[in-house]
A = this chain, B = another copy of it.
Amino acid sequence: MNRGATVLDDRYPTRLSDLPALLERADPTVWDDGRVPGPLSADELAAHERDGFVTVGGLLDPAEVTAFSAELHRLATDPLVRADERTVVEKTSSEVRSIFEVHRLSRAVAELVGDERVAGRARQILGGDVYVHQSRINYKPGFGGGGFYWHSDFETWHAEDGMPAPRAVSISIALTENFAHNGCLMIMPGSHRTFVSCVGETPAEHYKQSLREQEIGTPDRDSLRMLADRYGIAMMTGPAGSATVFDANCMHGSADNITPYPRSNIFVVFNSVDNALQAPFAADRPRPEHVAARERTPVVGGSA
């Protein structure tokens, strides 16, 4: 592991020592002062700057929700897709949990990703051209489907993918209703301004394990307690078709889902073309292309 070599230019050191630390974010959240035109209002950009996320009601209309749900079902039951290494299967039930690089497996998803409603918001926040760092469809079953412990995506992307700055946003588009009780996304509003430097070393091929259940790169309890006390915890509830746009460094997680209501969403991470991946900051080698794209082809817009 390249401990030491890049530390001098690394403003977000993590997994390099045995001491956790809270570091002030060194980069903007809304780039280029929000001057790139797009669907977000000035108030929404301000909310994103302040909270690290912004919710979008009705990003998809009901017919689109139906069509994308059918597409998800088609993909999850396609034996070729199921056998593909881009598909992650639930630990206990062997149900499909995620399908990565879904914008290359599905033309419909590819079009949605390029849509102004989606890529347009990312360009606006990140101040210019963006490319797809990661895309996936998530399926979270009911009756006990597992949650995800607290983490910052950027911590992983920085440590394992070599993403230099948190100049990336995720868009999660709900295909099912998110209730407070069925394991919805929880975000600590404002936590994107604090980088939690995590302890521990990244094991080889860590991503194969961490995509199911993450252990390394999770924040320590004292840091989480401080962040939660300072920022609180918001629950991203809303009907199918609504979306959450959130900064790469938001502290987020989800509880398990014992209700009968499964959750599924389309999840796209956009990175700025000016934030090219380097060598990983705390891992031996980069994760594979389908988890963290290194090719920076700008997304070209289609309109709604």
Binding site for B on A (CB under 8 A): 143-144, 147, 149-150, 179-181, 183, 186, 221, 224-225, 228-229, 233, 235, 253-261
How many copies are assembled?
2
Q: Out of B235, B253, B258, which one reaches A253, CB within 8 Å? A: B258
Given the interface pairs A180-B180, A180-B235, A181-B186, the reply to whether A255 lies near B253 with Cβ below 8 Å is no
Which residues of B sit under 8 angstroms from A235, Cβ to Cβ?
180-181
Structural contact, A259 and B228, CB atoms closer than 8 A: yes
Structural contact, B221 and A255, CB atoms closer than 8 A: no
State in angstroms the CA–CA spacing of A181 and B150 once bound together: 13
Q: Smallest distance from the beta carbon of A197 to chain B beta carbons, Å?
A: 18
Q: Out of B147, B225, B258, which one reaches A258, CB within 8 Å? A: B147
Q: Out of B186, B229, B255, B258, which one reaches A150, CB within 8 Å? A: B258
Structural contact, A256 and B147, CB atoms closer than 8 A: yes
Structural contact, B225 and A260, CB atoms closer than 8 A: yes
Which residues of B sit under 8 angstroms from A253, Cβ to Cβ?
258
Q: Out of B143, B224, B259, which one reaches A233, CB within 8 Å? A: B259
Residue of B nearest to A228 (CB): B260
